[in-house]
Amino acid sequence: MNLKKIKSNKKSLKLISKTYGVYLFTENNKYIYIGKANSLRDRLSSYFSISTSGKVKEIVKRSDSISYIEVNSEIEALLLEAKLVGKYKPYYNSSLKDDKSPLYIIITNDIYPQVKSIRKSNLKIAKYIHGPFPNASYVKEILKILRRIFPFSQHNIGKRACLYNHINLCDPCPNLIENIKDKTIKKALFDEYQKNITYINGILSGRFKFVTNELRRDMYKKSKMKDYEGALELKKKLDIFDYITKPNTDIKEVLKNPNFAEDIRKKEVTELLRMLKDNKLIINNINRIECFDVSHLSGFYTTASMVTFINGKAEKSLYRHFRIRSKNKSNDLTSLNEVINRRLKHINTWGQPDLIIVDGGKTQVKTFYEILKERNISVVGLAKRNETLIIPMLLDDELSYIEYRVSKGNARNLLQRIRNESHRFAISYHKKLLSKSYYV
């Protein structure tokens, strides 16, 4: 397998991108350790830190080269790591090896179904069975990711809320639900717990579209009932779920071609450029794309994010956060106006984008267009409804718009990845400011 390869030293790490991937430490053409990372460069840099010791120090000392494969998401990196560890069985991956009977993820047939990892011999208690999975480490990581979005229980009914309830990993906790006397509240929390189980079973079954549709339907339902807090919670779940399930590649294809992710990115960029040109946008290249998004809660702690993609790949060193200064913080257009003007002050130091994507429709695009038209920077909007591109153009000196619904394919995958990353980055900063306010 012809992987990308560098020498096992600190200087060589500059050649690696800050992206998801799997890395393989090699000694005499034999893999001695395989790991995954959300940022390959940052993770591998930690191996060459002065403070390293024990197994990490041994791995670095023994290895003469490092191979790596870039992928598109955390889930994909996890899948690929498990495949490679199972195939090559590296010496230092002893904690990942699993020679016992096959491991499954089950959902039990209880009133409050539990989500557990279990061996084949104990499958009788299961209502739903998923697997087998290659090793315990893999299963643990999958459940860890799911539980952060859709909390679930792993305990029998007791009198007090469990420990995991206090860190929002068993929420609502069956113990609390069973001790509530108000029947209306009890039913609402019971239904919420059952819904989380439905979502989890859908994900483990590979029915991502079903889960997305269910989340959206429940979110709109709560909004119509004026349960805005409940709708906001579902919106957060939906955003996180969209982010972790962004388009994945076939692991078999990655194993055949280590440059698979890079090849896909090239196709995405080429297809998007062609699509923009076909829709009358005058643009020569889209090597550098920036996307802006605003996040706030009723006008409080309003923030904006700028994410940057170079040749279809996230370049996190070029990400920027903006804390909105204007008085009318609840007005997204005012915030966007402030953000783009502040961005333009740094053209010489941050660099100039070829294309700017703004999350929204015609009014958001117009705000950016009026400011950028003299700068030779193209701008388009991306409306969530049917993933529609909003492309501004002048007709007889009047601004008009082409609305183009982006069909499934490489260009749509790239646009969704950029937009979802922009949401994640904006929300993360917004949450940081909110959490700080609790201690003021």
Same domain, 64 and 107: no
Same domain, 50 and 138: no
Lowest-confidence segment of 48-52, 173-177, 351-355, 408-412 by average pLDDT: 48-52
Establish if 97 belongs to a structural domain: no
pLDDT of residue 249: 56
The string over 261-292, giving b where at least 16 C-beta atoms fall within 10 Å of a residue's C-beta and e elsewhere, is bbebbeebbebbbebbeeeebeeeebebbbbb
pLDDT of residue 244: 61
Report the Cα 78 to chain-centroid distance in Å.
Answer: 13
Establish if 221 belongs to a structural domain: no
pLDDT of residue 246: 58
pLDDT of residue 430: 59
Establish if 242 belongs to a structural domain: no
Q: Which of 385, 358, 382 is nearest to 370 (CA)?
A: 358
Establish if 251 belongs to a structural domain: no
Same domain, 197 and 263: no
Confidence class for position 287, pLDDT limits 50, 70, 90: very high
User: Which sign does the torsion angle of CA 189, 191, 196, 200 carry?
Assistant: positive
Asked if pLDDT for residue 4 goes beyond 70, the answer is yes
Asked if pLDDT for residue 437 goes beyond 60, the answer is no
> Average of pLDDT values for 86-95?
76
Confidence class for position 72, pLDDT limits 50, 70, 90: confident
pLDDT of residue 259: 72
Confidence class for position 54, pLDDT limits 50, 70, 90: confident
CATH code assigned at 81: 3.40.1440.10
pLDDT of residue 194: 92
Same domain, 293 and 384: yes
Most confident of 11-15, 69-73, 110-114: 110-114
Confidence class for position 360, pLDDT limits 50, 70, 90: confident
Q: How far apart are CA 437 and CA 431, in angstroms?
A: 10
Asked if pLDDT for residue 255 goes beyond 70, the answer is no
Say which residue, 280 or 133, is predicted with more confidence: 280
* pTM, two decimal places: 0.56
pLDDT of residue 439: 36
pLDDT of residue 288: 95
Confidence class for position 26, pLDDT limits 50, 70, 90: very high
Same domain, 421 and 288: yes
Say which residue, 275 or 233, is predicted with more confidence: 275
CATH code assigned at 266: 3.30.420.340
Asked if pLDDT for residue 427 goes beyond 90, the answer is no
Instruction: Write down the mean pLDDT value for the chain.
Output: 81
Same domain, 167 and 46: no
pLDDT of residue 122: 66
Same domain, 368 and 399: yes
Lowest-confidence segment of 76-80, 177-181, 328-332 by average pLDDT: 328-332
Say which residue, 366 or 437, is predicted with more confidence: 366
pLDDT of residue 357: 94
> Average of pLDDT values for 421-435?
70
Same domain, 84 and 109: no
Give first-to-last CA distance, the chain, whole Å.
55
- What the block records as the tokens of 395 is 């007709």
Same domain, 84 and 136: no
Establish if 107 belongs to a structural domain: yes
> Average of pLDDT values for 162-187?
86
> Average of pLDDT values for 90-97?
68
End of a domain among 169, 188, 206?
206
Same domain, 161 and 192: yes
Establish if 285 belongs to a structural domain: yes
Establish if 327 belongs to a structural domain: yes
φ, ψ (nearest 5 deg) of residue 103: -110, 140
Of all residues in the chain, what percent carry a pLDDT higher than 90?
A: 19
Confidence class for position 440, pLDDT limits 50, 70, 90: very low
Burial of 431 (0-12, 13-18, 19+ CB in 10 A): middle
Q: Which of 324, 334, 333, 325 is nearest to 304 (CA)?
A: 324
End of a domain among 88, 122, 151?
88
Asked if pLDDT for residue 2 goes beyond 80, the answer is no
Say which residue, 373 or 135, is predicted with more confidence: 373
Establish if 235 belongs to a structural domain: no
- Tell me the residue range of the domain where 182 lies: 103-206
End of a domain among 62, 88, 114?
88
Same domain, 53 and 127: no
Same domain, 422 and 297: yes
How many structural domains are present in the chain? 3
pLDDT of residue 271: 93
Q: How far apart are CA 177 and CA 186, in angstroms?
A: 6
